[in-house]
């Protein structure tokens, strides 16, 4: 990674892997944690934080060589980075581009924060289930008790379970 004379940030291309762009500024480390990337896996990881963005003002970017993010992981990424773009790279070329969109229904991923919710009762075989009522930033509502999970609640819970 280097800066050229035109103040452009230059990152080396990756041969095979994933690039996550348009991450809200300051969330890249949280996203790496959510993805379970610690640095011990052997992947080459490039991380750029707080760079200028026409779309977001400031943004983060993650490049992970050697890891192809699966489509089912895209919705999990969207809960932290709802504006993100996921690019799958093969042989130095982007072969797939996905927008991170929070799923309409989030089931079994988060716990309801309402201690009286049926999903928190030990003898009830009910998985927590949330409906997305706002996408940017994500806001979820428990389908059983109506408790509202804010973006901050979602991020905190996702990261505490890693």
Q: Are residues 133 and 89 in the same domain?
A: no
CATH number, domain with residue 50: 3.30.70.140
Q: Which residues contact residue 4 at a Cβ distance below 8 angstroms, ignoring those fewer than 6 apart?
A: 10
pLDDT in tens, 101-122: 888 898 888 899 999 999 999 8
Q: Are residues 89 and 155 in the same domain?
A: no
pTM confidence score: 0.76
CA–CA distance, 79 with 73 (Å, rounded to integer): 10
How far CA 81 is from CA of 3, 42, 75, 84, 146, in Å, comes to: 26, 24, 9, 5, 24
pLDDT in tens, 34-62: 888 888 888 889 999 998 888 778 999 99
Q: Are residues 116 and 69 in the same domain?
A: no
- Residue 71 pLDDT more than 80? no
pLDDT in tens, 118-162: 999 988 889 999 999 988 788 999 999 999 999 889 888 887 754
Q: Are residues 58 and 132 in the same domain?
A: no
- Given 48, 78, 99, the domain boundary residue is 99
Confidence at residue 36, expressed as pLDDT on a 0 to 100 scale: 81
Q: Are residues 6 and 77 in the same domain?
A: yes
The stretches of the chain forming alpha helices (DSSP H) are: 28-34, 71-80, 151-160
Q: Are residues 68 and 122 in the same domain?
A: no
Range of the domain at 121: 105-160
Confidence at residue 61, expressed as pLDDT on a 0 to 100 scale: 93
Q: Are residues 86 and 135 in the same domain?
A: no
Q: Are residues 86 and 120 in the same domain?
A: no
- Given 49, 66, 99, the domain boundary residue is 99
CATH number, domain with residue 146: 2.30.30.20
Q: Are residues 130 and 152 in the same domain?
A: yes
CA–CA distance, 160 with 162 (Å, rounded to integer): 6
- What is the tally of structural domains in the chain? 2
């Amino acid at each position: 990674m280097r800066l050229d004379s035109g103040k452009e940030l230059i990152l080396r291309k990756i041969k095979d892997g994933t690039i996550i762009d348009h991450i809200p500024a300051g969330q890249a480390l949280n996203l790496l944690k959510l993805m379970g990337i610690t640095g011990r896996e052997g992947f080459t990881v490039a991380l750029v934080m707080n760079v200028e963005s026409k779309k977001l003002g400031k943004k983060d970017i993650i490049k992970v060589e050697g890891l192809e993010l699966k489509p089912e992981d895209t919705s999990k990424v969207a809960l932290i980075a709802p504006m993100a773009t996921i690019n799958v790279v093969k042989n130095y070329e982007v072969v797939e581009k996905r927008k991170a969109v929070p799923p309409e229904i989030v089931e079994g991923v988060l716990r309801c924060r309402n201690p009286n919710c049926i999903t928190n009762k030990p003898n009830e075989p009910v998985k927590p289930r949330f409906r997305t009522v706002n996408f940017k930033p994500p806001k979820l509502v428990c389908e059983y008790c109506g408790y509202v999970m804010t973006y901050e609640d979602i991020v905190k819970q996702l990261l505490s379970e890693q």
